[in-house]
Amino acid sequence: MASKMSISLPVTAEISRFKLPIGVRKRLAELLDRQDAGHPLSAAERREAEGLVELSEFLSLLRLRATRPDHDQAA
Q: Higher pLDDT residue, 2 or 13?
A: 2
pTM attached to this predicted model: 0.69
Within the chain, where are the H helices? 22-36, 43-67
> pLDDT for 9-68, tens place per residue?
666 667 767 788 999 999 999 999 999 999 999 999 999 999 999 999 988 888 888 777
Phi/psi of residue 4, each to 5°?
-110, 145
Q: Classify the C-alpha dihedral 25-30-31-36 as positive or negative.
A: positive
pLDDT for the residue 62:
83
Phi-psi region of 38 (alpha: psi -120 to 50; beta: other; left: phi over 0): left
pLDDT for the residue 39:
96
pLDDT at 74 exceeding the cut of 70: no
